[in-house]
């Protein structure tokens, strides 16, 4: 008898009771072909990474060339053209003087590095007692222990570990009235202990696809300035066109002190992330004292294959009209999802950039909805009460119609 307990351990799921996962065989454009022959239109671009669709020939060629020349060398003491070139390019396209790029392999680790930069920034300046961070309710910054501590503490995924995490200051986003006051009070009360402030600009992604207007982000920037705190903008979800601009911070006209990017950085092909710092942050480490060096260094940081993929992805943003495509997707999502507003069991329908969200009234039978979506020929992964679409920016009108149509049918059938 074969052991029914699988060797492959899956994320975020009670594997014993969950329906068996679908097995993907290949991808092309905005479609995922399954081993059983079915083909699904992908509505979420593999956790928002595959912005150019799958198997883009330009990225594939860049990775193939790099694989032949040099798959990897350590970045300790050695540098190479793919990493040098990508660092220059990221510095050139990110706002203001964000120019100093530290590579890692995952989003969570980039956030960890950004947090470590903020902590060491104070130490290097000889200031003690700056050990905590202010982050926001509804936020999500990753799954590692330090990043979990700056996620929403009520968040289902992480509440379990509350006792093991650093105790951070979690404030409401300063939207209006009472929240603005509470935010101002909290940042004022804790400022002397804080190393920095972390925010997801314009969209809180994994925390529930909740949007806030640019002025909220400007208030956060202004408050951080008032209290002399570095602001970390986590653009891991929002970066690379998802909100309609290359980076969400641009819409508020603010420059964070450290920005984290990952997810769509390589166009959904390779694991790569970066924490990108402004000049003044970098300068706090640039000294004659060896102890002032940034004490971090992931083994695969700046992996040449991943850097080549990321540079090829940036080529595509330059050569092809991705931001115009994001705007067109936004209009199509607005039109395609609007009918859901009138359906029973729908709390909210919202669209920002190339993100479309249908928020459902509880109780939500996630398993049934997931099955119905697959039966309708689409790959969409609702979570909690959130059904969302974040397709590749290259998706065709017909595929987008198919996605919106499937979402409408599934939401209507549930109501
Ligand atoms: C996905 C995500 C992360 C974590 O990235 P991983 O690569 O999964 O570690 C962090 N912050 C935001 C905003 C994200 O969307």
CB 206 near ligand 1, within 6 Å: yes
Domain chopping of the chain, boundaries: 57-319, 321-413
Pick the CATH number of 321-413 from 3.90.650.10, 3.30.1540.10, 3.90.1150.10, 3.40.190.10: 3.90.1150.10
Q: How far is CA 222 from CA 115, 197, 200, 226, 310, in A?
A: 20, 11, 16, 6, 32
Of 152, 234, 257, 388, catalytic: 234
Same fold, 57-319 and 321-413: no
Q: What is the pLDDT of residue 371?
A: 96
CB 239 near ligand 1, within 6 Å: no
Q: Which residue in 172, 202, 211 sits closest to 359, CA to CA? A: 211
Number of CB atoms found within 10 A of residue 184's CB: 15
Q: Which residue in 328, 352, 349 sits closest to 338, CA to CA? A: 349
Q: Which two tokens stand for residue 25?
A: 């065989």
CATH no., domain 57-319: 3.40.640.10
Q: What is the pLDDT of residues 207-257, one digit of tens each?
A: 999 999 999 999 999 999 999 999 999 999 999 999 999 999 999 999 999
- Specify the DSSP class assigned to residue 29: B
Q: What is the pLDDT of residues 88-126, one digit of tens each?
A: 999 999 999 999 999 999 999 999 999 999 999 999 999
- DSSP, collapsed to helix, strand or coil, labels residue 244 as coil
Which of 263, 264, 266, 300 best tests ligand 1's pocket when mutated (most atoms within 8 Å of CB)? Answer: 263
Rg (CA), the chain: 21
Number of CB atoms found within 10 A of residue 142's CB: 24
The model's confidence at residue 162, banded by pLDDT at 50, 70 and 90, is confident
Q: Dihedral angle at the C-alpha atoms of 345, 346, 347, 353, nearest 10 degrees?
A: 160
Contact 309, 270 (CB under 8 A): yes
Backbone angles phi, psi at 316, to 5 degrees: -65, -35
Task: Tell me the C-alpha distance between 294 and 116, whole Å.
Answer: 8
* Residue list for the binding site for substrate: 47, 140, 263, 297, 381
Q: What is the pLDDT of residues 33-45, one digit of tens each?
A: 999 999 999 999 9
| pLDDT of 158 above 80 | no
Task: Tell me the C-alpha distance between 404 and 415, whole Å.
Answer: 17
CB 112 near ligand 1, within 6 Å: no
Helix, strand, coil percentages, rounded to 5, for the chain: 40, 20, 40
Task: Tell me the C-alpha distance between 150 and 133, whole Å.
Answer: 7
């Amino acid at each position: 008898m074969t052991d029914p307990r699988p060797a492959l351990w899956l994320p975020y799921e009670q594997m014993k009771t969950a329906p068996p996962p679908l097995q993907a065989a290949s991808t092309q454009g905005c479609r995922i072909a399954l081993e059983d022959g079915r083909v699904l239109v992908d509505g979420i671009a593999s956790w928002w990474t595959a912005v150019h669709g799958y198997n883009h020939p330009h990225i594939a060629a860049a990775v193939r060339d790099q694989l032949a020349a040099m798959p990897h060398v350590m970045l300790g003491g050695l540098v190479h053209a793919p990493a040098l070139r990508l660092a220059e390019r990221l510095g050139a396209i990110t706002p203001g003087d964000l120019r100093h790029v530290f590579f890692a392999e995952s989003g969570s680790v980039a956030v960890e590095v950004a947090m470590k930069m903020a902590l060491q920034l104070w130490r290097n300046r000889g200031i003690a007692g700056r050990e905590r961070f202010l982050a926001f309710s509804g936020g999500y910054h990753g799954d590692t222990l330090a990043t979990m501590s700056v996620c929403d503490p009520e968040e289902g995924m992480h509440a379990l570990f509350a006792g093991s995490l650093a105790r951070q200051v979690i404030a409401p986003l300063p939207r209006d009235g009472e929240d603005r006051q509470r935010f101002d009070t909290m940042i004022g009360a804790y400022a002397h202990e804080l190393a920095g402030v972390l925010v997801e600009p314009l969209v809180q992604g994994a925390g529930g696809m909740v949007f806030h207007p640019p002025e909220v982000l400007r208030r956060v920037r202004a408050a951080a300035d008032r209290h002399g705190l570095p602001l970390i903008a986590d653009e891991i979800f929002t970066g690379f066109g998802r909100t309609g601009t290359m980076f969400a911070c641009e819409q508020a006209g603010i420059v964070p002190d450290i920005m984290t990017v990952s997810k769509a950085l390589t166009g959904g092909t390779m694991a790569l992330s970066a924490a990108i710092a402004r000049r003044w942050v970098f300068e706090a480490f640039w000294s004659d004292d060896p102890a002032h060096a940034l004490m971090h260094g992931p083994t695969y940081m700046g992996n040449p294959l991943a850097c080549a993929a990321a540079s090829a992805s940036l080529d595509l943003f330059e050569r092809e009209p991705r931001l115009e495509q994001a705007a067109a997707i936004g209009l199509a999502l607005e039109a395609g999802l609007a009918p859901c507003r009138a359906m029973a069991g729908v709390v909210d329908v919202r669209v920002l950039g190339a993100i479309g969200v249908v928020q459902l009234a509880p109780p939500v039978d996630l398993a049934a909805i997931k099955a119905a979506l697959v039966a309708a020929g689409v790959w969409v992964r609702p979570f909690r009460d959130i059904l969302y679409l974040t397709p590749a920016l290259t998706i065709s009108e017909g595929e987008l119609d198919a996605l919106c149509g499937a979402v409408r049918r599934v939401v209507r059938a549930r109501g």
